[in-house]
Structure 1
Amino acid sequence: MSTNIHKPNEFTGRHMLIVIVTFFAVVIGVNVTMATLAQTSWTGLVVENTYVASQQFNEEAKKGRAQAALGWTGKLTVASGEVHYSLVDAHGKALPLRGVRILFRHPAYEAEDEALTLAAPAGVAPGSAQEFAVRHTPKDGVWIVEIDADAGLATPFRDVRRVMIANGAMQ
């Protein structure tokens, strides 16, 4: 007759070492991963100097109220590989523009920002063009579009909006 002597499982110093090494390996691995992702994504920089920006805020707000009082509305279209922009007054009458610049800003990645200068339609006299355009297809996703339209005012008409691009067209 044979007897099997079964030795109970014991938690030894070797097991404790494995647990501690594994724990710290996971913590260090997660920290390195998060630091790498943070370094390669958005910088978090909104303005170069927050004090100067805070001092300019009231002046910018005053300009925004004056612009809103004009009652002008900008019309932006993105489709078929083209970006179009026009401006109408409070009565819906198209306003003549001298030039239009657009900045497509990605909300999270500054590296993907794209600045465009729109052109007047061919054969139209400068200052009388109603709609400016450029051939461009932004990547699909969410964009903050900053538009500066020269409509003959002391400062450009500023139009900022958040848009969604899907399949090369604005939704």
Structure 2
Amino acid sequence: MSAHIRKPREFTGRHMLISILAFFAVVIGVNIAMATLARKSWTGLVVENTYVASQQFNEEARNGRAQAALGWTGKLTIASGEVRYSLVDAEGKPVPMHGVRMLFRHPAYEAEDEALTLAAATGGIPGNTQAFAARHMPKDGVWIVEIDADAGLTSPFRDVRRIMISKGALQ
């Protein structure tokens, strides 16, 4: 009778190389996946001091609820090198304003942020003589527009929008 004794498999240098390569492939793959997800989901929101911002959140939320209760709607148009803004109440009637300030914030580059003060204008938005306008052509791309409209309230009516500009016009 002949007995075959099987030799145990050895862990060779080739096995070690495959193990190390597999480990680093998984680590690099997970890093790429996480970086891609972070880049796609980043809102661009940056604050200088997160603690102070968190303390102000409840007050801002309260102001936002009070403003929403008014039922006002802002109308923003950007075309032909002009930015125009107006407010209408819940019934669609124009809300008289005393002034409008805007901040065009680029989501990724603070150096491209631009502040505007709009002047009273007439026409352009049918049925509304309470529009404010300024000559301005934002670059094409995504912008966060922060609008503060002085409508005689204790604090300005605040309208914040994320918009897309293409070929000099609001999309």
Would you say same fold, with TM above 0.5? yes
Structure 2 counterpart SS, 1:68: helix
Residues 18-76 of structure 1 show CA distances to partners (whole Å, capped at 9, x for unaligned) of xxxxxxxxxxxxxxxxxxxxxxxxxx882222111111100100000000000000000
The whole-number CA distance in structure 1 between the counterparts of 2:45 and 2:146 is 17
User: Which residue number in structure 2 is paired with residue 121 of structure 1?
Assistant: 121
Residues 64-114 of structure 1 show CA distances to partners (whole Å, capped at 9, x for unaligned) of 000000000000000000000000000000011000000010000000000
CA RMSD of aligned residues (A): 1.7
The whole-number CA distance in structure 2 between the counterparts of 1:169 and 1:62 is 33
Structure 2, unaligned runs of 5 or more:
1-43, 123-128
The whole-number CA distance in structure 2 between the counterparts of 1:45 and 1:137 is 23
Residues 105-159 of structure 1 show CA distances to partners (whole Å, capped at 9, x for unaligned) of 000000000000000127xxxxxx6000000000000100000000000000000
User: Which residue number in structure 2 is paired with residue 22 of structure 1?
Assistant: none
User: Which residue number in structure 1 is paired with residue 109 of structure 2?
Assistant: 109
Q: Is residue 170 from structure 1 mapped to residue 170 from structure 2 by the alignment? A: yes
Alignment of 1:74-113 (within 5 A): 74-113=74-113
TM (norm. structure 1) is: 0.69
TM (norm. structure 2) is: 0.69
Residue type of the alignment partner of 1:56: Q
Number of equivalences? 123
Structure 1, unaligned runs of 5 or more:
1-43, 123-128
Contact kept, 8 Å, 2:45 with 2:107, in 1: the verdict is no
Stretches (4+) displaced over 3 A: none
Q: Is residue 151 from structure 1 mapped to residue 146 from structure 2 by the alignment? A: no
